[in-house]
Amino acid sequence: LNCLLYLILSIVFTSYLTLSFKVVGRFGIPVFQAIVFNYITCVITGSLVNASFPLNSQSIQEPWFGWALTMSCMFISIFNLIGFTAQKLGVAVASVSNKLSLVIPFVFSIYLYNETATWVKIAGILLALVAVVCTCLPGKEQSAKPGYSAGGVALLWPAVLFLSSGLLDTLVKYVQQTYLNESNNNAYLITAFLGAATLGSIALVVLVASGRMKFHPGSILAGIAIGIPNYFSIWALVKVLKQYEGNSSAILPINNMGIVLFSSVVAWLLFRERLSLLNWLGIVLSIAAIALIAFG
């Protein structure tokens, strides 16, 4: 029951992040600024959850420290890509482009951790890929959006999100299984968030000081609204993976497909992002893929 609750929290919170970029754009708040304050909020939230700031001078010597810094760079880069794609091409396209990467941690889990790959699971993964492609293909309304071009943005950003998100999910799984336990899990997350906050803050100060970006006060509130769910999305995912250490090849795809389904439907309901018949077919296929992966 706890595992199911953590999985639902991970799906809802991660979907919320993608959806929030749409709202941020409508208020004219620069995505990058909101992302920087989001990571500052993540650090504060994690410290409150832990009832103390879990880092000290000894943290640098921990074997997970270098991986946390790598995760910091990936965090802020991927978040900006997701925000850009959500605003330019829509929430559904951003979400499926991001979570199409489920095939990467699946393959790594099979070969690195010798997890079982049944034909049913493999069929589920293949069906999932077809499903997210169907969901991702834009209709005429999306194709007409400013910044969309069949040979440019539409192909470049989904490809970059695919690779980077897949590697991030794989990194989370590797570090969780190799280095983390209940005593250092929060310290690892705080380090990753603090690194992203530091990198982003330095870049933001330089951009504002040089006049290349104007500071928007609303980005502070936006960062808080995004940062709290962001922290708990990673926290919940790590909890799920810890309880199912030998079956991440099923958990990660289910988590990712759940995010695709939830965010696409909510975007359709709240933002009136129109889905074509092919997009709806993709959602139906996603449900079938989840069943195959979960019970395979």
Query: Model confidence over 18-53: pLDDT tens digits?
Result: 889 888 888 889 989 999 999 999 999 988 887 778
Q: What's the pTM?
A: 0.79
Instruction: Supply the pLDDT for residue 181.
Output: 80
Give the separation between CA 88 and CA 84, rounded to whole angstroms.
Answer: 6
Residue 119 confidence (pLDDT): 86
The pLDDT score that the predictor gives to residue 107 is: 76
Q: DSSP letter at 181?
A: -
Rounded to 5 degrees, φ, ψ at 65 are: -60, -45
Q: Which residues of the chain have pLDDT under 70?
A: 1, 92-93, 97, 99-100, 102, 136, 138-155, 158, 245-250, 294, 296
Task: Quote the tokens at residue 112.
Answer: 């690195």
Q: How far apart are CA 127 and CA 292, in angstroms?
A: 9
pLDDT at 226: 94
pLDDT at 247: 63
Find all residues with CB under 8 Å of 49, minimum gap 6, and list them.
186, 231, 235
pLDDT at 13: 94
Find out whether 91 and 19 touch, Cβ atoms under 8 Å. yes
Q: Which residues have a Cβ under 8 Å from the Cβ of 109 and sit 6 or more positions away? A: 115, 173, 248, 249, 252
Question: In the prediction, which pLDDT does 251 show?
Answer: 76
